[in-house]
Structure 1
Amino acid sequence: MANKKPPADSDVLAGWVDPRINGGRFLDFTTPKFGEPLNVIISGRSDPYILSDEGFHHYAKSIGYSEECLGLHYGAIHEADLGDGEGRRDEMFLARQYYFPIWGTCWESFAGGHHFRAWKQNGTTANSGAWFIGASKEEHSQKHHKITENGYNEGRDWLVENAVAGTYYKGIWWKAEVEFREGLLEPGNNGVNHGIEQDGFVAILTVNRL
């Protein structure tokens, strides 16, 4: 811990802190050797409600996701280190594309589609409150839910498109602003799970309540 320094106030005020400052990274830990990109950040400057666990679940539903089929978890638990002093932590939320009105997320578990994993940056060395998200698109169950050929970019872009279009849930409306940032993720497939290339862009969303 001696070599870990709290982030500058300006980092937290920006709504998120680069995990690499304190030894984290923008790939999660899927296997001992490979990870999946954390390619979306919901900034801590967003509506405070969606920075809470309950609010984030509601916001996820507004942009086309929901909890796993029948509340059962399928697949491995991923870890991530957000450089906030908490080290590697298990995913806090796994959401799958909701196929309305029939089957819900159960259809995504069978037929494939979009999903994301999320972690909150709230440790003592980087308490930004931001959600770091690994979004992707996966194949159907007969292909063992492998990520599609361009699945990391497609998963990020689908989430972002829904967020910036404006969404609502239970009478609350939101609309996101987005900034695509280079230099946080290395483009390509070095260390990336399944060897699938991604473009290296991270989408930083600031979600405002309307």
Structure 2
Amino acid sequence: MSVVDSEIDITRGWVDPRILGGRLLDFTTRRKGEPLNIIISGKSDPYILSETGFSNYVKSLGFSSECFGIHYGNVHQADLGDGNERQDEQVLARQYYFTRPGGPIFGTCWESLAGGNHFRAWKQNGSMADSGAWFLGASKEENSGKNHMIIPNGYNIGRDFLVAQAVSTPTHWNSLWWQTEVEWVKGLLEPGNDGVNHGIEQDGFVAVLTVTRV
């Protein structure tokens, strides 16, 4: 476990958004946000730092794009302190519950109905802090009958699920294999529920993942 510092250092693979006015809560509403509780370090396999590679990597963790590309819910924004200011989510991925028949796309359709784990992602690539890292806001939600509300403790649960999927064994999609290591960082998020959407408490820890090709 490590703590954060107050200087811009791209060589570490990510930059604390707060240094240049960003934050580790996204903008869900005018006043509330959801925690960006996972960072995929810019020191990872360069392929997964691209949008195509990132999509394939998260498929190896059991996540894929929304059911038939249909977006459910609000579009969130985030300011990663890289000079790009607030940006719309670049990725919204949902847990897929089965791979055959139909593959991940049909699997995410079930998540849209039954609820489960999902995340939004933004890339830190502005001119003032171009680390290349992906910042993710992961959570677990209720089913569609409950309007996809986040479950109690859902931010911690969603983060921990994705991290467990990543680090348990080498993961793969098609012929590509990855090994992932995690470092737990405190000090980026304030523990508790101040400013957090739905008033759900979270523990303040951010998981920094470094992904290498094997």
Task: State the TM-score, normalized to the length of structure 2.
Answer: 0.93
What amino acid maps onto 2:189 in structure 1? L
Q: Which runs of 4+ in 1 moved over 4 A?
A: none
1:104 is matched with which residue: 95, 103, 107? Answer: 107
Q: SS of the residue aligned with 1:105?
A: helix
The offset of 1:175, in angstroms, is 1.2
Q: Tell me the CA shift for residue 99 of structure 1.
A: 1.1
Instruction: State the superposition RMSD in angstroms.
Output: 0.8
Where do 5+ consecutive residues of structure 2 fail to align?
1-6
Counterpart of 1:196, as a letter, is I
> Residue 4 of structure 2 corresponds to which residue in structure 1?
none
Q: Tell me how far 1:82 sits from its aligned partner.
A: 0.1
Structure 1 unaligned residues grouped into runs of 5+:
1-6
Q: Work out the percentage of aligned pairs sharing the same amino acid.
A: 68
Is structure 2 residue 198 aligned with structure 1 residue 200? Answer: no
**In 2, Cα distance between equivalents of 1:87 and 1:134:** 17
Equivalent residue, structure 2, for 1:22: 20
Deviations 1:68-116 (A, max 9, x none): 0011111000000000000000000000001113641000000000000
Q: Residues 100-135 of structure 1, C-alpha deviation per residue, up to 9 Å, x if partnerless?
A: 136410000000000000000000000000000000
Query: Which among 136, 145, 150 is matched to residue 147 of structure 1?
Result: 150
Cα deviation 1:121-151 (Å, max 9, x = unaligned): 0000000000000000000011100000010
Aligned partner of 1:170: which letter?
N
Amino acid at match of 1:193: N
- Aligned equivalent of 2:185: 181
Give 2:43's aligned residue: 45
Among 86, 89, 92, the alignment partner of 1:91 is 89
In 2, the alpha carbon distance for the partners of 1:154 and 1:54 equals 26
Letter of the structure 1 residue corresponding to residue 182 of structure 2:
V
Aligned twin of 1:132:
135
How far is 1:170 from its partner?
A: 1.2
Partners of 1:29 and 1:141 lie apart in 2 by 22
In structure 1, C-alpha distance between the alignment counterparts of 2:64 and 2:97, rounded to whole Å = 9
